[in-house]
Amino acid sequence: MTRSEDLFARAQTLMPGGVNSPVRAFGSVGGTPRFMVSAKGPYLTDADGKEYVDLVCSWGPALLGHAHPAVLEAVHAAVDRGLSFGASTPDEANLAAIVQERVPAAERVRMVSTGTEATMTAVRLARGFTGRNLIIKFAGCYHGHLDGLLAAAGSGVATLALPGSAGVTEATAAETLVLPYNDLAAVEAAFAAHGPNIAAVITEAAPANMGVVTPGEGFNLGLSRITREHGALLILDEVLTGFRTGYSGYWGLTGGAADAADPWTPDLLTFGKVIGGGMPTAALAGRADVMDYLAPIGPVYQAGTLSGNPVAMAAGVATLTHATRDVYSFVDARSLELSSALSAALDSAGVDHSVQFAGNLFSVAFGTSANGVHNYADAQAQETFRYAPFFHSMLESGVYLPPSVFEAWFLSAAHDDAAMNRIFDALPAAARAAAAAQA
């Protein structure tokens, strides 16, 4: 047995499915998940000593590359001062100030520990502020594993072919209206029927959990208009896209851009991944009058002993300080290079596909060249059977892809020419494996 096989066999006797997050189990691609023991720059090393070019980047946080010296230095200094105080620390405000500078819509910021906690708090806050119960979400958008938002979620739920989750009560599910993504007419109809009871619409700034799906022209703007007209709030989930797709996140590429033809502003935003620099932290931010409904000055309660953890705050401050506009330009260019090479390899092998973009995030969808992917139904209708052989071919060539076709690909500022060439060299054989796949 390989070391990873041995570790996985042991883990399965100790943890449900042998993992602590479902997609890690390789359920949709098959085979043994690789157990990673170290990471540096654009590379991961598994327990058997094999090195991989990493295109997961810890699902986003490794924007600068793994083990960036400045981030490690900040973390080591923070660790030397103590791991957790259960009290306020200077870097909480320092990180909040950086978030606010980059995203002017973040008039107030509340640090939490996970993206799920951020979206859970956003939903509770929206209900508390508006005095309404219903939440609109979109099929295929994933906002963490809170009960009310697991209906028709993407990502791991889509990978495991589950329509929702056991343990979610009918009463809880009934407080969520699930609509098709990119369909403003459906949103208008929902508000016509339920408007006085709708507290908020929650949407990923650009979905990246049913594969990447680009918001249609004017879609997010339309959501902002509709919610404003009906006295509801717009929650923009940037847990994956925030400070990853650009200096100010995906909102900064669209509504928040200074040159946007039709600027728009969400009421609440959720952040995660990159703001922790690889450490577990996340944040809720938004309008001051809404955010000030949170305790201790408002009636909506939220708390967390590890919220604003000093080590996580130090990692976040260091990461965002070094994530300059030049870094984003570099990652954008690398993303364009790789997505172009991916398409060229698949075209050469005769594999029908489309590549979906959201800033520098992208994903491939097989059998979708005619219309692309615009919603969850499109994502589910693709030829998913082609991904597993494609994935394993890349893995054998030393390239670690997301172990699900319903996930985005991530690059970093550390993906130099040597790393990129290793990916390019692996693509032709992987494309041929996808071409030969049978349903």
- Annotate 5-30 with three-state secondary structure: HHHHHHHHCCCHHHCCCHHHHCCCCC
Q: Answer whether 30's CB lies under 8 Å from 388's CB.
A: yes
pTM of the model: 0.94
| Amino acid occupying residue 318 | A
Helix (H, G, I), strand (E, B) or coil at 64: coil
**pLDDT for the residue 161:** 38
Strands 43-46 and 51-54: antiparallel
47: DSSP letter: T
Active-site pick, 52, 91, 273, 400: 273
Average pLDDT, the chain: 94
247 is catalytic: no
CA distances (Å), origin 311, targets 71, 84, 306, 437: 10, 8, 10, 46
- Give the active site residue among 43, 91, 137, 142: 142
The residue assigned the tokens 């339920």 is: 194
- What average pLDDT does this structure show over 363-383? 96
Residue 4's pLDDT band (cuts 50, 70, 90)? very high
Residue with tokens 């509340």: 110
Percentage of the residues of the chain whose pLDDT score is greater than 70: 96
- What pLDDT score was predicted for residue 158? 45
Q: In which residue are the tokens 């594969």 written?
A: 211
Q: Report pLDDT digits (tens) over 132-177.
A: 999 999 999 999 888 777 765 554 444 443 445 677 777 777 788 9
pLDDT digits (tens, 9 = 90+) for 171-194: 777 788 999 999 999 999 999 999
142 labelled catalytic: yes
**Average of per-residue pLDDT across 221-226:** 96
Question: Per DSSP, which regions of 93-159 are E strands?
Answer: 108-112, 134-138
Domain with CATH 3.40.640.10 in the chain: 69-322
Out of 237, 328, 387, 400, which one is annotated catalytic?
237
| Residue-wise DSSP of 244-305 | TSSTTHHHHHTTT-TT-SS----SEEEE-GGGGTTSS-EEEEE-HHHHTTBTTTSSB----T
Mean pLDDT across the stretch 19-27? Answer: 92
| Preceding omega of 104 cis (within 30 degrees of 0) | no
What is the average pLDDT across 398-403?
98
Lowest mean pLDDT among 136-150, 296-310, 336-350: 136-150
**Residue 289 designated active-site:** no
Residue 211: predicted pLDDT: 95
pLDDT score at 58: 96
Residue 376: closest CA among 179, 175, 149, 147: 179
What the block records as the tokens of 99 is 């978030």
CATH of domain 69-322: 3.40.640.10
Closest by CA to 28, choosing from 161, 226, 218, is: 161
Q: Are 265 and 255 in contact (CB under 8 A)?
A: yes
Lowest mean pLDDT among 21-25, 170-174, 246-250, 399-403: 170-174
How crowded is the C-beta side of 308, counted as CA atoms within 13 Å? 19
